[in-house]
Amino acid sequence: MTFTQLKYAVCIAELNSFNAAAKKLFVSQSSISTAIKELESEIGISIFERTNRGIALTTAGSEFIYYANNILLQVNALSDKYSEGGSKKKFYITMHHSTFATKVFADVVNHFGLEDYEYGLFETKTADVIEDVARGKSELGILYLSEYNHRYYMRLFKERGLSFEVLAEYGVSVYLGKNHPLAKREILSLSELEEYPCLLFDQGENSSAYFYEEIVSAYEYKNILRTSDRATCLDLVKRLNGYSVGVGILSDTESMSELHAVPLDTDEKIKVGALYREGSVLSAPAKKYLEEFESYVPANSRGQ
């Protein structure tokens, strides 16, 4: 087993493609395929399986990639620390769609500057948040959990070797355009919103309600529009007299400037928290992010 083989395997798992990994690593596809075949023969497991949609990690392969990625991360950290000059350290976050989490990230970038770190912030589906952190692509994941799915997630995190730290807890609100007929209400029930379209973030193949970002996950929304982009979601909320469900924080961004947040009549709470690999030592930007997040949240929260 070599570091090159581990690097190949992790890259293939990240891109879900032998061909894309070969291009990224500037090697031929035959070379990368041979290296993986030899690796699988040596360790006695199949890391990848081919499906009609491409390739997928086997159960044993997923565990192998987890450990392989940890090894590569440690080797890279040593290289960065002791090589002359060193390359930039990386601080990546993958998260649910959020405006105030983005604001905190910008504060961290401004604090540490661009000289020593390469930064990445990715808004995506729930399963991808978990996968990015488990594989080590991102150091932190930011997730919204509800009472409905909290227990399910705790089991899943334990299986993947992940820890979840609750940073804040909120009541639930709905976002409405300023011209929406119900925008001036002090509190709303979901039954009053039934005839209006609810904007949900698409979860792809993981369509189970457990993976919804929207907090009242067990509720069967009557009229649904799905999108994958936060700006598109907010634009459709305004244009279609729709609504979306969230924590009720209205940031000072232009996309949020024409919205109202109205508390929802429910006892359910939203847990917003950080996901990271169990036992990992967090970097300085990660620690700063968690500190800033917790200090930012209470002053801006609603319905706690």
Positions of the chain with pLDDT lower than 50, given as ranges: 84, 298-304
Cβ neighbours of residue 125 closer than 8 Å, sequence gap 6 or more: 201, 202, 203, 204, 206, 211, 228
The answer to whether 268 and 189 are in contact (CB under 8 A) is no
Find where tokens 């401004």 sit. 110
The structure tokens listed for 176 are 């409405």
Q: Which residues of 34-48 are buried (b: 16+ CB within 10 A; e: fewer)?
A: ebbeebbeeeeeebb
Predicted TM-score of the model (pTM)? 0.68
Helix (H, G, I), strand (E, B) or coil at 247: coil
**Assign residue 158 a region: left if phi > 0, alpha if psi is -120 to 50, beta otherwise?**
alpha
Q: What is the pLDDT of residues 56-71, one digit of tens each?
A: 899 999 989 988 988 8
Rounded to the nearest 5°, which phi and psi values hold at 265? -80, 80
How many C-beta atoms lie closer than 10 Å to residue 177's C-beta? Answer: 20
Helix 59-82 crosses helix 3-15 at what angle (to 10 degrees)?
120
How many C-beta atoms lie closer than 10 Å to residue 116's C-beta? Answer: 14
* CATH code for the structural domain at 88-304: 3.40.190.290
Rounded to the nearest 5°, which phi and psi values hold at 166? -70, 125
Give the residues across from 261 on adjacent strands.
175
The answer to whether 174 and 303 are in contact (CB under 8 A) is no
Q: 1.10.10.10, 1.25.40.80, 2.30.30.60, 3.40.50.300: which CATH number matches 3-82?
A: 1.10.10.10
The answer to whether 147 and 120 are in contact (CB under 8 A) is no
Q: Residue 33: how many CA atoms within 13 Å on its side-chain side?
A: 10
For 26, counting Cβ atoms within 10 Å of its Cβ (0-12 exposed, 13-18 middle, 19+ buried), the class is: exposed
First-last CA distance in the chain: 52
Residue 229 has what pLDDT?
84
How many C-beta atoms lie closer than 10 Å to residue 260's C-beta? Answer: 18
> For all residues of the chain together, what is the average pLDDT?
85
Q: What is the pLDDT of residues 154-206, one digit of tens each?
A: 999 998 899 999 998 888 899 999 999 999 999 999 889 999 999 888 776 65
Residue 42 has what pLDDT?
93
**Assign residue 44 a region: left if phi > 0, alpha if psi is -120 to 50, beta otherwise?**
left
Residue 106 has what pLDDT?
93
The answer to whether 297 and 165 are in contact (CB under 8 A) is no
Longest dimension (CA), the chain: 66
- The one-character DSSP state at 264 is B
Each domain of the chain, given as residue ranges in start order, spans 3-82, 88-304
Residue 300 has what pLDDT?
43
